[in-house]
């Protein structure tokens, strides 16, 4: 949404993967419905002595890092990913069953309860785990007060790129980013509203087209078709991002992702508008899908621009860190000819000077 509002975006290639999310495929009793969000197995399990095995019960972390299971998240996630690809398996096993039963249950009651729901006793059996996308270090470029290049737009939390994380997030920094920057942003945003010229507010509102609700323009059957196609597109986009833009990347796979995302987006948009959806129609699932396409493209473009491996971004074509590239990736808004709905802002042009704001593309580089 901020990108469409002409905000500067930075460091979108640095996506943190949690190494150990619960793998439903490895549970004795499979969940009846697909999880909307991954159930994370805290790193404290490894800190408390948990050991990672492949499905042949071979311990593998010592082969990748001297710190074994206590290596940083990105190292553990890449190691698990390598095991899964080499062995053609869907998950690995995290075993804490060698620890005293009472201590395991006392330290990890929620994990024990969730696993037991599906027939797995973590005090006796290893936990099936797989990496999962967890945290976005990049986002909307923000100053020390949470301000952006868009007047009146302040950001805090995961949506922001404050510089606190660099290329690899430390766990507690997300709390710092959410609380400190949110608190900092409050007073400047209030001051801006107090100081705002009363005459300017109607003109700001007039920039935006009026939204319409789906049921006011579409029938129930058409809306049901659109929601169904949107859910399918979401699953397909998730599959593309996991396969081509995941933990270990390459230039070829990133370009393949760029092509496939473009095709998927075009097909989805064509379906929507053919069924009567309007650019100003707002529905939760469609709006989320639109934003997912936009964010996916921002991640891919940023990843292609970084021709090195740093922190959470690892590419096989440039596997080493280069100090000359210790700079943020920055995506500036710029006018371009061809735009998709997910990237194109809807504000109205009030004067000729607004022409550059009527479309939003990418002017991307390492700054």
* Catalytic residue ranges: 73
Token pair for 71: 């290596």
The tally of CA atoms less than 13 A away on the side-chain side of residue 36 is: 1
Q: Are 145 and 70 in contact (CB under 8 A)?
A: no
Q: Is the dihedral of CA 62, 65, 66, 72 positive or negative?
A: negative
Rounded to 10°, the helix 220-244/284-305 angle is 20
The Cα 186–Cα 154 span in angstroms is: 9
Task: State in Å, rounded, how far the first CA of the chain is from the last one.
Answer: 23
Measured in residues, the chain has a length of 367
Burial class (CB in 10 A: 0-12, 13-18, 19+), 329: buried
Helix, strand, coil shares of the chain as percentages rounded to 5?
Answer: 45, 15, 40
Q: Are 292 and 237 in contact (CB under 8 A)?
A: yes
């Amino acid at each position: 949404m901020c990108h469409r509002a002409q905000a500067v975006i930075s460091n979108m290639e640095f996506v943190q993967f949690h190494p150990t999310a619960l793998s439903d495929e490895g549970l004795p009793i499979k969940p009846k419905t697909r999880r909307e969000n991954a159930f994370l197995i805290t790193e404290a399990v490894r800190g408390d002595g948990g050991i990672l095995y492949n499905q042949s019960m071979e311990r593998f972390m010592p082969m990748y890092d001297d710190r074994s299971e206590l290596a940083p998240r990105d190292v553990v996630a890449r190691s698990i990913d390598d095991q899964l690809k080499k062995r053609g398996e869907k998950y690995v096993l995290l075993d804490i069953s060698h620890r005293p039963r009472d201590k395991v249950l006392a330290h990890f009651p929620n994990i024990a309860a969730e696993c037991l729901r599906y027939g797995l006793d973590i005090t006796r059996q290893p936990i099936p785990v797989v990496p999962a996308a967890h945290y976005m270090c990049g986002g909307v470029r923000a100053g020390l007060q949470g301000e952006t290049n868009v007047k009146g737009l302040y950001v805090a939390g995961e949506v922001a790129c404050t510089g606190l994380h660099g290329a690899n997030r430390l766990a507690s920094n997300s709390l710092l980013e959410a609380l400190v920057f949110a608190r900092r942003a409050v007073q400047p945003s209030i001051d801006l509203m107090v100081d705002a010229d009363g005459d300017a507010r109607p003109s700001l509102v007039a920039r935006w087209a009026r939204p319409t609700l789906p049921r006011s323009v579409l029938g129930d059957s058409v809306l049901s078709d659109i929601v169904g196609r949107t859910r399918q597109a979401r699953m397909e986009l998730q599959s593309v991002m996991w396969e081509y833009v995941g933990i270990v990347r390459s230039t070829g796979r990133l370009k393949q992702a760029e092509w496939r995302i473009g095709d998927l987006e075009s097909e989805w948009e064509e379906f929507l508008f053919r069924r009567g959806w309007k650019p100003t129609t707002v529905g939760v699932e469609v709006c989320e899908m639109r934003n997912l396409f936009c964010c996916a493209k921002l991640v891919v473009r940023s990843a292609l621009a970084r021709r090195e491996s740093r922190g959470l971004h690892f590419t096989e074509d440039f596997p080493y860190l280069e100090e000359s590239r210790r700079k943020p990736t920055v995506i500036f808004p710029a006018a371009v000819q061809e735009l998709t709905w997910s990237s194109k802002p809807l504000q109205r042009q009030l004067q000729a000077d607004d022409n550059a704001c009527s479309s939003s593309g990418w002017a991307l580089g390492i700054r």
